[in-house]
Chain A
Amino acid sequence: MPGITKDKKVPAAKHETRTVSQWSGNALSWGVADGVIELRLHRTPCNELGSASLEELEQFVTALEGMQAEAHALIIYSEMKLGFCAGADLRELYQRSQAMDKSQAVKGVRHFLERIHRVLNLIDAAPLTTIAAVHGVTFGGGFELALACDLIIADKMARFCFPELRLGLIPGFGGIPRLKRDLGNAVVRDLLLTGRSVNATKAQQIGLVSQVVGEGEALRAARATAAQLKKFDHATAVAAKKFIKPIPYEELQREIELFCDLFASPAVEAGLRKFVESTDAQPYLP
């Protein structure tokens, strides 16, 4: 049942009591223990990001403000077998946009983008070290969620992709400015303009992934990293992050504008319709 918040005292080491806060929703859950916040994604089939997930992410970033005082790290991971996150819920996007005229649809998309940008900007700038522990499909909006984190630790079966151009769109959840911030422009062009997917080894070679680990080991490695970070002075870690990691707010806003301009084009509607209505084993992606 969503919306359950629990705070309970758990005996930890001798002479010590740690506080565990937990919340569980339909699409995601979180808990904090020993200074590490863990955000678990668990919406079937692969954590597609639609309006319900966004509402819960908004609840999470609201709660994050309170949890930050007792935490030094945040780990985001998926409980779904297929992967970390397959990106935006294209079926919902298509169906909602079909139910209204074009200008209303664009307005709705803009509102959704502004809300999810706010969530990802807060995660990006959070005064904690943030780690995406990813496996399997890490596509589109899922890739963008991972890019908002400070470190990406990838299972060797993880696969990253921005397929949006294949549907006549661009990434809209802040992916382009964050990729440009983090990687060389030639790599950004390769990922965006070809829409191809790359594996974890390649993603590490191009500087996207911090650590590649064995199958099923990403969360363990993320927890080990978070445990190491606990040894550092928190104020120094926060100051270092702020110095190292600028948030490209202006470009993020320009991305929203460009996405909305493109969303109004007939090519997008046609591309989304083919994708959503496809029953092929290989869905429509040109």
Chain B
Amino acid sequence: MKTTDQTLDEILSLAAAHFKVSKEKLSPDDDFFQTLGIDSLQTLDLLTKLENHFHVELPDYELQGVSDFRTLAGKIQARL
């Protein structure tokens, strides 16, 4: 089973690739809305990428109020 740090690292890689930013510019505690410059509809793309990659279902209401990569990793980790 993946560790939380591995999950977090994979999330950062996926986000960087999907939104075409350098992974080095992303850090675990970043507000991804601000750092990636995305809105809620674009966040759904990220959610789909993450669900497909980790083979989990993550109800979007569990992500209400989640805006940083570390908390997001915790939500995914809880479903692995």
* Residues of chain A whose beta carbon lies under 8 Å from any beta carbon of chain B: 45-46, 82-83, 86, 136-137, 156-159, 161, 194-202, 280-283, 285
Contact = CB atoms under 8 A, between A and B. Distances in A.
B51 interface: yes
Contact of A281 (B33, B59, B60): B33
A198 B57 CA distance: 8
Contacts of B60: 161, 196-197
22 contacts: A45-B41, A82-B42, A86-B41, A136-B44, A137-B41, A156-B52, A157-B45, A158-B48, A159-B47, A161-B60, A194-B61, A195-B61, A197-B44, A199-B48, A199-B51, A200-B48, A202-B57, A281-B40, A282-B65, A282-B67, A283-B40, A285-B61
Contacts of B38: 281
A86 B42 CA distance: 12
Contacts of A281: 33, 38-40, 43, 67
Residues of B contacting A: mostly = helix
B64 interface: yes
Among all A-B residue pairs, the 3 with the closest Cβ atoms: A281-B33, A196-B59, A282-B40
Given A136-B45, A159-B44, A201-B52, A196 B61 contact: yes
Most chain-A CB neighbours within 10 Å: which of B45, B48, B59, B65?
Answer: B48
Contacts of A194: 59, 61
B41 A82 contact: yes
A159 B59 contact: no
Interface residues of B, number: 21
Nearest to A278: B40
Most chain-A CB neighbours within 10 Å: which of B45, B57, B59, B60?
Answer: B60
A45 B42 CA distance: 12
Interface string B16-50: 00000000000000000100001111111101110
Given A197-B47, A282-B67, 11 more contacts: A136-B45, A159-B47, A199-B51, A199-B52, A200-B48, A281-B33, A281-B38, A281-B39, A281-B43, A282-B43, A285-B64
Most chain-A CB neighbours within 10 Å: which of B41, B43, B47, B67?
Answer: B41
Contacts of A280: 40
Contacts of B39: 281
A230 B34 CA distance: 49
Nearest to A282: B40
A200 B67 CA distance: 24
B54 to A, nearest CB: 12
Contact of A282 (B51, B57, B59, B64): B64
B63 to A, nearest CB: 8
